A and B are shown apart, each in its own frame.
Chain A
């Protein structure tokens, strides 16, 4: 048997060396002027499903690209069903990809640290100068991983803005008509009202995706988050605290326990894996989410495919931009034409004609422009706006028909808030470096889901106090102090940089 084992091992080794050797080699880029004499094909990957009528859209936009940059764009679509499995595989396989969608939620900084992308310190300003000029310093700072930039972020401003999103049509003619849910008391009042008048329906949407109420509470108090920690940006030297270390933690947990007691959401909600938005479907009245969801729901009503009326309120004390790396484009390390790819990106994000052709398609076929400047997608079964969201650019992107006025109002409000008070915004360029903490973060992630999720919803069986004690103990075991120490150092260094 031993001999056989040895043989098996030997065969495996030999075959494997042959099979899996060699992956993407990083070829050096030389700076200089873009040479467009040779026609090239730029390969782009992003996550979305290919619409049925995409062929003519591709043809149309490539005509423009050919004329302006002597290149064509080949778009490969990673279907939504597959990205969890195939995204990393694609980057590791060494296939030649020139541009790929990336984002914080896809693990941008970790991937960059692991060498998945080319450094764009030179590529970006050299070959995409207009795009580079448009990007804010804040956005540029956010792309930095270990001292270098690895992505081109979106030029589209988005905002921290989370809060209740609730049905108003059920309030008409009642004493609660016109109520604004800008505090947790009002949310409770609203839910009480629903419970009383519609006892059959659980008022608050909640499922296995967990709640956001803890981070909403933090925002309500004006705290910013860093990983699982919270800090008060108004302090001169902010310190990181876990949620349970906040003074008001007990109030929050007691409130949630009371909500659970009152039956605002299902006691079995954490086992509901259906992934449905019950508020959107009408089996709940209130959901905690963002202004984009609000816009989507209300747009449906405005265009006549739903009867529900919606309202949204940001519950946060301060406003700030979301990191611009929330949507980004990267040049994978296996790219063969990085210069042209970046130049093409520049074209699409700064030239309205190229942008329209890429994002909306062909006027009259896939979209039409309305008199008020908004755009209507024609035949959404066949065509769609591009799934490459990074391309959205303030100034080039048009409003969609039926967008509720409040959507724009909110954006203006936030922009004004940021201008008036940058207490949150000045921390926006703080990025988290997780290097060397993988083990602890994995364990903390587990503790959060296992102990915090039920505790937060008031579902755990041994009460608030017992639950908190257990949670803290597990968090310690998972190595929270090591993470805190590392993060605090990064935060301190950032604060020091601010004061310079």
Chain B
């Protein structure tokens, strides 16, 4: 009896397995498509003449090709290159330091033998619930820490996020406690255990959090708006944000100030800004992706 059922269910299995794969490929492909199309429209829009966009709307391929928007963005190439530099510096330094701090903290908080772990987690978590608003931070950072116009003001406040900490902690919790115990028995110190045993197991988690941190730093213009006056220290996103607002404001006040402002191609400008800001970080993505493709074998580390 039993022998008879097995092959049958295997066939059934393979049919439903193929069905599963078919669905998986289709669903993922469809999702990828609806994510890709708007992005293509953005890219194409950035190369389309403003007039065409105004009268005919968006399209997948640029109908009236124009580089006007990019010409405006790169009119003074020096500023935008400087801004790239600032952004890259802030992102790299911030992510490296922040990733280290987040990982090691979340590891400590994931340890079952760490008695105050839940209370300390609460101490961290509390700050996501309550915040004192901008005014106090502003006074504190400018008058007491004297961080105005320092690149550290772009790096430090974003270096540690409770969201990242807790996600990372859940990755740490997935590591079997026995590994730590056996390492302890082998006589390894806490730091050694962390760096040579645990960290290699957290690669995918670190890649995730690192990616999020980098994106966070890369996209953050708010901090710069509050604390950076020196135009040489504008990060890219703030520079772009500033440019867009400026063109709007300039048109508003053109009549008052008695200067004639050329019509800004606002719509295509918005899109070219998205392209210029997204480009470099997209290049990082495949690099991070390496860590997601292949799974980890804990056994090999244990041995």
Contact = CB atoms under 8 A, between A and B. Distances in A.
Are A and B subunits of one complex? yes
Interface in B214-255: 225-226, 229, 231, 241-242, 244-246, 248-251, 253-255
A76 B257 contact: no
A199 interface: no
B143 A93 contact: yes
Given A76-B229, A384-B259, A81 B246 contact: yes
Contacts of A8: 123, 126
B259 A16 contact: no
A421 interface: no
Chain B interface residue number, banded: 35 or more
B255 A299 contact: yes
A276 B247 CA distance: 11
Interface in A284-325: 292-297, 299-300, 303, 305-306
A19 interface: yes
Given A49-B249, A79-B245, A305-B263, A384 B257 contact: yes
B242 A79 contact: yes
Interface stretch (B13-21, B39-47, B132-140, B180-188): B132-140
B139 A49 contact: no
A4 interface: yes
A297 B142 CA distance: 42
A86 interface: yes
A122 B285 CA distance: 63
Contacts of B119: 1, 4
Contacts of B266: 274, 276
A244 interface: no
B34 interface: no
B195 interface: no
Nearest to A282: B54
B140 A292 contact: no
Contacts of B261: 380
Contact of B136 (A19, A280, A381, A400): A19
A4 B122 contact: yes
Contacts of B226: 82, 85-86, 89
Given A19-B140, A282-B54, A292-B256, A4 B251 contact: no
A44 interface: no
A82 B225 contact: yes
B139 A52 contact: no
A394 interface: no
Contact of B259 (A76, A389, A400): A400
Contacts of B139: 19-20, 23, 92-94
Given A86-B225, A89-B226, A305-B262, 18 more contacts: A4-B119, A48-B253, A76-B229, A80-B245, A81-B244, A85-B134, A89-B134, A274-B266, A274-B267, A276-B54, A294-B255, A295-B255, A296-B255, A299-B260, A380-B261, A381-B75, A387-B257, A401-B258
Given A20-B139, A81-B246, A85-B225, A375 B258 contact: yes
Contacts of A281: 54, 263
B122 A93 contact: no
A299 B261 CA distance: 10
Interface of A: 1, 4, 8, 16, 18-20, 23, 48-50, 52, 76, 79-82, 85-86, 89, 92-95, 274-278, 280-283, 292-297, 299-300, 303, 305-306, 375, 377, 380-381, 384-385, 387, 389, 399-403
B132 A385 contact: no
28 contacts: A16-B132, A48-B253, A49-B246, A50-B231, A79-B245, A80-B249, A81-B244, A81-B245, A85-B134, A86-B225, A89-B134, A89-B138, A92-B139, A93-B138, A93-B142, A95-B143, A274-B267, A278-B54, A282-B55, A296-B254, A299-B260, A305-B263, A380-B260, A384-B259, A385-B257, A387-B257, A400-B257, A402-B260
Contact of B225 (A81, A92, A94, A276): A81
A377 B259 CA distance: 6
Contacts of A52: 76
Contacts of A49: 242, 246, 249-250
B105 to A, nearest CB: 18
B144 interface: yes
A389 B229 CA distance: 22
Contacts of A79: 242, 245-246
Interface string B166-193: 0000000000000000000000000000
Contacts of B136: 16, 19-20
A1 B253 CA distance: 57
Given A4-B122, A92-B135, A400 B258 contact: yes
Question: Interface of chain B, helix or strand or loop or mixed?
Answer: helix
A312 to B, nearest CB: 11
Contacts of B142: 93, 95
B123 A305 contact: no
Contacts of A385: 257-259
Contact of B246 (A19, A76, A80, A95): A80
Residue with the greatest number of chain A CB neighbours at <10 A, chosen from B123, B136, B242, B259: B259
A4 B241 CA distance: 42
Nearest to A302: B260
B242 A275 contact: no
A94 B246 CA distance: 27
Nearest to A294: B255
A16 B255 CA distance: 47
Contacts of A89: 134-135, 138, 226
A49 B79 CA distance: 15
A81 B241 contact: yes
Nearest to A86: B226
Across the A-B interface, the 9 shortest Cβ-Cβ residue pairs: A400-B258, A296-B255, A81-B245, A80-B249, A292-B255, A19-B140, A385-B257, A20-B136, A377-B259
B245 to A, nearest CB: 3
A167 to B, nearest CB: 15
B144 A277 contact: no
A4 B255 contact: no
Nearest to B55: A283
Contacts of B254: 296, 299
A303 B261 CA distance: 11
Contact of A81 (B76, B144, B242, B258): B242
B148 to A, nearest CB: 10
Interface in B18-65: 54-55
A42 to B, nearest CB: 18
A459 B237 CA distance: 38
A147 to B, nearest CB: 28
B131 to A, nearest CB: 11
A380 B264 CA distance: 14
A269 to B, nearest CB: 16
A2 to B, nearest CB: 11
A20 B257 contact: no
A94 B143 contact: yes
Nearest to A76: B229
Contacts of B132: 16, 20
Contacts of B126: 8
Given A80-B248, A81-B242, A303 B256 contact: no
Contacts of A50: 231
